[in-house]
Amino acid sequence: MKVNIFEQINVTVPQERIYSRLGYAKGKTQVSKEQIEQTEQYIDQALSVITLKGAAVRIDITDFSDALVSLTNGSVLASRDLAEFLSGSKEVLFMGATSGLEIMRLITENAEGKDVTAAVVFDAVASEMTDAALGWMMNYFNNELRRENKVLTKRRFSAGYGDFGLENQKLICDLLEMEKLGVKVSETSILIPEKSVTAVAGIK
């Protein structure tokens, strides 16, 4: 049960998803050339400070019950929805990713009044980039798994979905040794820095 740490994750910038998160509707939203240029500059600025890092670990499932998933390391995940999502899986892949501290500093500094427009764009870029890092890790493991004649579930599941409570963030972050990436969990189960995410996928 060794945690894979990815110090630098390179993803294709999810441009469409960033715009979509900002409320851009193709064919409807009318943006001037100057506004697009400014948005692009903000996106560039955000990208220049985002350093995507990730962690992932594979753990065998030892037992399923109706609403419990027991793992070989002794952890038990209590969630009916997660148990259903993982049905048929033999292992769980836990994943975590972060955009780092610097982008959060930039967002906070600007959101407090310096340049709120920039802040909302930075926020969208960081959210989508972090999510893309999870997608990258899933691709990575699918490549590894092909050799083992295994495959990942197509979707991923996160704490906070359905009855899989947000409190599970602590357990997931501990399993992933997320502190090595500079990520902590608050008492209210919020990941700090905020532009960090965790997820689980099944290995079939």
Partner 1 sequence: MKKIQTLLNKKIIVLDGATGTEFQRRGMPQGVCPENWCVQNPKITQAVHEDYVAAGADIIYTCTFGGTRPKLEQHGITSVRKINKQLAVLARRAAGDKVLVAGDIGSTGRFVEPFGPLKFNEAVEIFKEQVKGLLAGGVDIFVIETMMDIQEARAALIAVKELTDAFTIVSMTYEKDGRTLNGTDPITALITLQSLGADAVGCNCSTGPQQMLAFIKAMKPYAIVPLVAKPNAGMPKLCKAKTIFEMSAREFGCFGKKFAIAGINMIGGCCGTTPEHIRLLKENITGVLPRKPKRISISALSSARKHIILEKRKTVAYVGERINPTGKKDLQAELREGKFSIVRKFAREQQAQGAHLLDVNAGAPGVDERKTLKDIIGLLAVNTELPLVIDSSKIEAVEKALRLYPGRTLINSISGEKTKYEKLLALAAKYGAMFVLLPLTEKEVPQTFEKRKKIIEFILRKAKSYGFSKDDIVIDGLVMSISSQPKAALETIKTVKWSSRSLKLNTVVGLSNVSFGLPGRGLINSTYLSILRRNGLSMVIINPCVERLAYNKKAEDVLLDKDKDAKKYIAYYQRFCGNKTLISKKKALVSSPEEKVLQSVMDGNRQEMKNHVKDALAKGVKADYLINKVMIPAINKVGDLFDKKEYFLPQLIASAEAVKIAFDYLEPKLKKSQANIAKKTIIILATVAGDIHDIGKNIVALMLKNHGFNVVDLGKDVSTQKIIREIKKYKFPIVGLSALMTTTMVNMKEVVETAKAEGLKCRFLVGGAVVTKSYAKSIGAEYAADSVEAVRTAKRLKR
**Chosen residue from 65, 72, 73, 117 binding partner 1 by CB under 8 A:** 117
29 is an interface residue for partner 1 by CB under 8 A: yes
Of 45-53, 66-74, 79-87, 92-100: span binding partner 1 (CB under 8 A): 45-53
**Chosen residue from 59, 67, 151, 171 binding partner 1 by CB under 8 A:** 151
**Chosen residue from 111, 177, 182, 184 binding partner 1 by CB under 8 A:** 111
87 is an interface residue for partner 1 by CB under 8 A: no
Radius of gyration of the chain (CA): 18
123 is an interface residue for partner 1 by CB under 8 A: yes
Beta carbon of residue 7, minimum distance to partner 1 (angstroms, whole number) = 5
190 is an interface residue for partner 1 by CB under 8 A: yes
113 is an interface residue for partner 1 by CB under 8 A: yes
Q: 100: which residues sit within 8 A by CB, 6+ positions away?
A: 49, 50, 51, 52, 53, 182, 193, 195
144 is an interface residue for partner 1 by CB under 8 A: yes
Of 21-29, 70-78, 79-87, 93-101: span binding partner 1 (CB under 8 A): 21-29
CA distance 197 to 190: 10
CA distance 89 to 46: 38
Q: How is residue 200 annotated by DSSP?
A: E
3-state SS class at 112 = helix
β-partners of residue 170 are none
166 is an interface residue for partner 1 by CB under 8 A: yes
CA distance 111 to 100: 17
Got the DSSP string for 39-83? Answer: HHHHHHHHHHH---EEEEEEEEEEEE-SSEEEETTS-EEE-HHHH
Q: How many C-beta neighbours within 10 Å does residue 7 have? A: 11
Q: Which is nearer to partner 1, 17 or 150 (CB)?
A: 150
- What is the contact surface with partner 1 in residues (CB under 8 A)? 2, 4-8, 10, 12, 19, 22-25, 28-35, 37-39, 42, 44, 47-49, 88, 107, 111-113, 115-117, 119-121, 123-124, 136, 139-140, 143-144, 146-151, 160, 165-167, 186-190, 192, 194, 204
